[in-house]
């Protein structure tokens, strides 16, 4: 599956915006430029395509809940406010060379918690082969999306993307949830949006083959190189010898051995550095076979040392591409950019800026030969304002 284009209309600051994603998509921009709004707009599209749209479905995908009027664009220069939010997804399937498109037009809730479908349409090679509208006499329920549940045989080809999109979520791990001391309010399989049940997910990735220890398809030694103080990582049940009895914990915990300490001085994720937990979390998302094939991570570089963030994005990109996943990331760390191979078309960098009217604009950043010849890293180019996606500060 190859996502070709995503289009947003009248959603928050995304009044009229679109971009053509790769497998790994990194968004940079000033605070408030609309980066997280892009992730949320994709979440809204996911809910509309695969389910109904209400507070529960949006929360499961990590979308912030707002009052209905705040979901729609309300810019000062708009003489007339559009009533609907418009979303569109274009893609190609692995099974054929056909090009598909799904369009949906939604109205925000009024007297109920449910968003209303004004229309849905499915196009193949530019030709509309299925659709529904609340203007039709055959309209059965305007509060339910029919794309995934309609038995129309015309929908069979190309509809797998809706199944992939159904597991979309915006992951925002936090340290306490990763440590296992508080429950994840958005627990999904195999790991929650805030990092819940990370130990259980990791346990399925750690295995031995021909005497070598692996984490997914990577040698465990490669993981330990990124967590340079650790000599061993495992998953076990909580024990009095590794965690204080007064600390609430999950049924499974991550255990570490510090290479500078005795082998008997093992400790759990509760006492480990948060950076180590974030590394394991990101790799689990990229590698786990039961993990989502389309997902987002807001603030990818959170809790990571800049040099670790650079190395982490390199390994993360390799795993996403190898496992044929799609991911959308935001970052404020310049070193993350230095870990991106923009010569690989599967890896794409986008700057998000607000124009003079406040509309969020999404612009792909390509590395020209002129920039390559300058010999400056992307981090320097971004900080100096050469790439866009920076605040206008005096």
Q: 377 and 338 in contact (C-beta within 8 Å)?
A: yes
Which residues, 6+ apart, have CB-to-CB distance to 331 below 8 Å?
A: 26, 27, 28, 299, 300, 301, 309, 337
At residue 162 the predicted structure's pLDDT band, cuts being 50, 70 and 90, is confident
Q: Phi and psi for 125 in degrees, rounded to 5?
A: 55, 40
Tell me the pLDDT tens digit for each residue of 206-246.
999 999 999 999 999 999 999 999 999 999 999 988 999 89
At residue 137 the predicted structure's pLDDT band, cuts being 50, 70 and 90, is low
pTM: predicted TM-score of the whole model, two decimal places: 0.95
Which residues are registered as beta bridge partners of 100? Answer: 91, 124
User: Whole-number mean pLDDT of the chain?
Assistant: 93
Domains of the chain by start residue, with CATH = 2-169+292-383 (3.40.50.300), 198-268 (no CATH)
> CA 41 → CA 7, 87, 92, 390, distances in Å?
9, 8, 21, 22
Tell me the pLDDT tens digit for each residue of 260-286.
999 888 999 999 999 999 999 999 999
What is the per-residue pLDDT for 264? 85
Residue with tokens 């939604």: 106
- Tell whether the model's pLDDT for residue 136 goes beyond 70: no
Tell me the pLDDT tens digit for each residue of 285-328.
999 999 999 999 999 999 899 999 999 999 999 999 999 999 99
Distance from C-alpha of 386 to C-alpha of 384, rounded to nearest angstrom: 6
Sign of CA dihedral 215, 220, 223, 224: positive
């Amino acid at each position: 599956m190859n996502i070709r284009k995503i289009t947003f209309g009248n959603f928050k600051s995304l009044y009229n915006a679109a971009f053509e994603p790769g497998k790994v998509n990194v968004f940079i921009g000033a605070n408030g430029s609309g980066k997280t709004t892009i992730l949320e707009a994709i979440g809204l599209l996911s809910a509309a395509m695969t389910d109904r749209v209400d507070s529960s479905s949006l929360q499961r995908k990590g979308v912030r809940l707002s009052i209905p009027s705040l979901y729609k664009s309300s810019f000062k220069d708009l003489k007339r406010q559009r009533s609907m939010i418009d979303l569109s997804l274009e893609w190609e399937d692995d099974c054929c060379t056909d090009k598909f498109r799904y369009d949906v037009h939604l109205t925000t809730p009024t007297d109920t918690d449910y968003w209303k479908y004004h229309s849905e349409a499915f196009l193949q090679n530019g030709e509309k082969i299925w659709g529904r509208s609340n203007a039709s006499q055959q309209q059965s329920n305007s509060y339910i999306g029919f794309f995934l549940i309609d038995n129309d045989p015309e929908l069979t080809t190309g509809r797998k993307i809706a199944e992939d999109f159904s597991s979309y979520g915006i992951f925002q791990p936090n340290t306490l949830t990763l440590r296992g001391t508080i429950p994840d309010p958005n627990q999904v399989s195999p790991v929650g949006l805030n990092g819940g049940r990370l130990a259980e997910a990791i346990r399925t990735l750690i295995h031995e083959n021909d005497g070598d220890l692996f984490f997914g398809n990577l040698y465990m030694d490669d993981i330990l190189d990124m967590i340079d103080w650790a000599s061993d990582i495992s998953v076990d049940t909580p024990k009095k010898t590794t965690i204080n009895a007064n600390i609430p914990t999950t049924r499974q915990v991550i255990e570490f051995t510090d290479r500078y300490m005795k082998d008997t001085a093992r400790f759990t994720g509760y006492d480990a550095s948060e950076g180590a937990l974030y590394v394991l979390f990101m790799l689990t998302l990229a590698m786990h076979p039961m993990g989502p094939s389309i997902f987002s991570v807001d603030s990818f570089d959170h809790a990571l040392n800049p040099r670790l963030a650079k190395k982490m994005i390199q390994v993360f990109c390799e795993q996403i591409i190898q496992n044929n996943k799609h991911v959308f990331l935001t970052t404020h760390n310049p070193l993350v950019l230095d870990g991106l191979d923009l010569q690989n078309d599967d890896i794409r960098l986008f700057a998000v800026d607000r124009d003079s009217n406040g509309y969020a604009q999404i612009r792909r950043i390509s590395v020209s030969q002129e920039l390559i010849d300058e010999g400056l890293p992307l981090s320097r180019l971004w900080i100096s304002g050469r790439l866009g996606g920076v605040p206008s500060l005096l």
